[in-house]
Structure 1
């Protein structure tokens, strides 16, 4: 065997060893990584409005498929009380919006390039979250608070990336996305009082009408 052939064989041997070692390390790490926990049972979500109120659920082309815009069926939409859809913990409450140049928008502004404006995100456990956006003013809850079903979170407004009074609402299951981003990949069709919302596609879903069963518990 020539010196050149022996050199090539040695190089190939080194490469083979490196590949085997790398694969062994990767397989070991993957094997030790705990599998993602399955989602917990979906909470018994209710409409985020007081008992007996009727609301239109709608969306529009360019919205995410499962995002819902709520408009009151009678009277003014702005100023209506927004309630927690289920018991949980406030994982975020505050202000989030940007201007056209990407800079932060001043609190209370509307028609910005992006953002919920004043909003709240609730963690309901088991990977389930709800999101409430475009509130009229600073939320009535703070990050870290524990809230019960039907607890007031704020009032409907048009802060952030809108100029029309409505509530932006989402239900999310962050176990769908291994990165736990609570992004578009985690959104699911909202269910209220056990009934699917019907808002599943931003360009084809028809408006729906629902009456809130987010009612105080019956007395003794």
Structure 2
């Protein structure tokens, strides 16, 4: 092989390498066209100790898929709230706003917005669970590793409510390109492999379904978080 042919093949290789690098850089900057896919849904259980029966409810304007839990055998206040699945504490603390938009003092009841004392758990694969309106500071802190059934706090009425209950959500974060764990990535909760039955809040002004129609009827579930 002559020197000219060696030079020619070398230059072809250099050009090909440059084209490949340019393609990879452009692809990285533009992002992958394929949306991210969630990991396997964790084996979520009811967020209460084994054997307890709870009533699952929603109401117009609550956001589709949001669940309010009320203890079926007596008062809800002070009852244990436990992790639905193994995970890591994404956030634990206080969140509440007053009518003028300012931050409410921790422990305030009946705020304009906010979970009150609450916890958000990350379960991997884009899955999150949210627990709100606890009676005082959570029993866990941000960054903690938790096991299914571990105590997170107790039912209360802090934040945007005046009634003792647990506010609960399941999220598939891969549904939201901005990964805000907001309305768009809420999904129907599943407990012990069975869909909760709480889907529509009956309001077209709230998401993610945004359909007018009947509110999902109340459900009853017994915890197998054992």
Q: Are 1:111 and 2:122 matched, yes or no?
A: no
Number of the residue aligned with 2:220: 209
- Which residue of structure 2 lines up, in the alignment, with residue 33 of structure 1? 31
Alignment partner, residue 124 of structure 2:
125
Gap runs ≥5 in structure 2: 1-22, 203-214
SS in 2 for 1:175: helix
SS in 1 for 2:115: strand
Partner-residue secondary structure (3-state), 1:74: coil
Give me the whole-angstrom Cα distance separating, in 2, the residues matched to 1:100 and 1:74.
Answer: 35
CA offsets, 1:44-96, max 9 Å, x none? Answer: 00000000000000000110010000000012100000000000000000000
Normalising by structure 1, what TM-score?
0.84
CA shift digits 1:16-68 (9 cap, x unpaired):
xxxxxxxxx9x945775234431000000000000000000000011001000
**Structure 1 unaligned regions, length at least 5:** 1-24, 216-220
RMSD: 1.7
Measured in 2, the distance between the counterparts of 1:72 and 1:59 equals: 14
Distance 1:30 1:36 in 2: 14
Q: Which residue of 2 is the match for residue 165 of structure 1? A: 164
* Partners of 2:183 and 2:74 in 1: CA distance: 32
Structure 1 residue 179 displacement after superposition = 0.6
Match of 2:199 in 1: 200
Aligned pair count reads 191
